[in-house]
């Protein structure tokens, strides 16, 4: 056994003609050769073509001149043709050339890993720059949106103040018109013709209606700012109690309710039915004997709808078959104000639509064949 066989590094010994005299197992195992296959071969047979040129033109002349070279990196070619980077020192004596060193496969893998990490870091940096740009654009958009919301809030506040001022300023002269006209009527003592008395009575009535209208306008403007207090309550009870106080209390109500529970603000929903029955009475006539059919259904929408709470809908339908009075409204609303057809909406219909939209629902009014009114209310349904 040679002294070189136990060394933890590679050793190649050449004669002065650069032919292989000895190779230790460290080199043989890595390259896959038997020593007999390399014995008396030129060192050039182990070098790759590029390393062979460097060895001959650069390193060997230095070795001849200085007799020693440190930290040379050349590639040795294995039996299967694969290249192995080899870091070694060379020394020349009067009888031989000694090459000792280590293979750099792990270093090569490490360098490859560093290159891959560098490339990944550059890609990540590029993506991060894109994300930062998108984040900046999103921030700019959010700032613009906040500005628009503040402007809208200020506008709504101004409109609210304006509505209060208009309502208050209108009510006072209307009250005075009623007061003074009533005094003139009460003190007339047959001093005026009946025609004048009748006209004064009409003025009192119109002023009273104007007074009520301004109060309703103020109430309507307040709906937008009313905090909804939602809870479950009984649908039929609400309809029956509202019906008894409504202008269509003489109507025959027929119920077909699959769903008896409503989830919403009970005060607002009660106001909704009050205005709804006023609307029906206005369109149909409050004193005409009629039947109002009321249905409630729970429908499940397509599961592709994103909001789970809006997949289920409560649909309330109201149908009546008495001929409709001329000159009134046809309304179709999608909750956003689009697709609406208005002939004469009226405050009662406006109240209905507003309350339903605030609850996240839809309001539709149809006059079918000039004979029947169909009203449909759609609300997001939440079970008990």
pLDDT reported for residue 164: 66
Same domain for 234 and 372: yes
- Report residue 199 as tokens: 């006209």
pTM here? 0.50
Same domain for 366 and 261: yes
Same domain for 235 and 211: no
Report CA torsion sign: 188, 193, 198, 200: negative
- Please, which residues have CB within 8 angstroms of residue 346's CB and are 6 or more apart in sequence? 279, 282, 328, 329
pLDDT tens-digit profile of 146-158?
888 887 777 767 6
Q: How confident is the model at residue 101 (pLDDT cuts 50, 70, 90)?
A: confident
Better-scored residue on pLDDT, 117 or 243: 243
Residue 49, domain CATH: 3.30.450.20
pLDDT tens-digit profile of 40-93?
889 888 888 888 888 888 888 988 889 998 888 888 888 888 888 888 889 999
Q: What's the domain range around 50?
A: 3-103
Same domain for 354 and 276: yes
Q: Is the separation of the CB atoms in 74 and 51 below 8 Å? A: yes
- The answer to whether residue 360 scores a pLDDT higher than 60 is yes
Same domain for 205 and 254: no
Q: How confident is the model at residue 293 (pLDDT cuts 50, 70, 90)?
A: confident
Among residues 103, 122, 147, which one ends one of the domains?
103
Phi and psi, residue 101, nearest 5° = 180, -170
> Dihedral (C-alpha) 129, 135, 138, 140: value to the nearest 10 degrees?
-80
Give how many domains the chain has, as a whole number.
3
Report CA torsion sign: 195, 197, 203, 209: negative
Among residues 222, 252, 282, which one ends one of the domains?
222
Q: How confident is the model at residue 270 (pLDDT cuts 50, 70, 90)?
A: very high
SS3 336: coil
Q: What mean pLDDT, rounded, does the chain reach?
A: 77
Q: How confident is the model at residue 301 (pLDDT cuts 50, 70, 90)?
A: low
């Amino acid at each position: 056994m040679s002294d070189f066989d136990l060394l933890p590094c590679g050793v190649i010994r050449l004669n002065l003609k650069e032919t292989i005299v000895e190779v230790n197992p460290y080199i043989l195992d890595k390259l896959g050769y038997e020593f007999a296959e390399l014995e008396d071969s030129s060192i050039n047979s182990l070098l790759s073509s590029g390393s062979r040129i460097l060895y001959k033109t650069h390193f060997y002349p230095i070795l001849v001149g200085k007799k020693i070279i440190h930290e040379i990196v050349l590639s040795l070619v294995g039996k299967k043709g694969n290249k192995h980077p080899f870091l070694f020192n060379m020394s020349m004596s009067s009888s031989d050339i000694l090459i000792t060193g280590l293979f750099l496969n792990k270093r090569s893998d490490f360098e490859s890993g560093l290159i891959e990490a560098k490339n990944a870091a550059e890609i990540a940096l590029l993506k991060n720059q894109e994300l930062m740009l998108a984040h900046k654009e999103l921030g700019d958009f959010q700032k613009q949106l906040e500005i628009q919301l503040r402007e809208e809030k200020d506008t709504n506040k101004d409109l609210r103040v304006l509505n209060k001022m208009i309502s208050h300023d209108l009510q006072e002269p209307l009250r005075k018109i009623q007061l003074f006209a009533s005094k003139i009527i009460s003190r007339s003592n047959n001093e005026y013709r009946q025609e004048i008395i009748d006209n004064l009575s009409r003025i009192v009535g119109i002023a009273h209606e104007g007074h009520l209208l301004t109060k309703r306008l103020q109430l309507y403007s307040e709906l937008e700012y009313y905090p909804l207090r939602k809870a479950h309550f009984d649908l039929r009870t609400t309809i029956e109690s509202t019906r008894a106080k409504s202008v269509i209390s003489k109507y025959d109500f027929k119920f077909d309710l699959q769903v008896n529970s409503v989830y919403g603000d009970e005060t607002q929903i009660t106001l909704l039915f009050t205005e709804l029955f006023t609307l029906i009475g206005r369109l149909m006539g409050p004193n005409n004997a009629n039947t109002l059919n009321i249905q409630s259904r729970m429908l499940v929408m397509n599961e592709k709808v994103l909001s789970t709470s809006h997949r289920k809908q409560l649909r309330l339908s109201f149908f009546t078959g008495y001929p409709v009075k001329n000159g009134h409204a046809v309304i179709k609303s999608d909750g956003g104000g689009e697709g609406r057809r208005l002939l004469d909406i009226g405050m009662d219909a406006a109240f209905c639509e507003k309350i339903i939209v605030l609850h996240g629902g839809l309001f539709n009014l149809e006059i079918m064949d000039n004979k029947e009114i169909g009203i449909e209310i759609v609300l997001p349904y939440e079970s008990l």
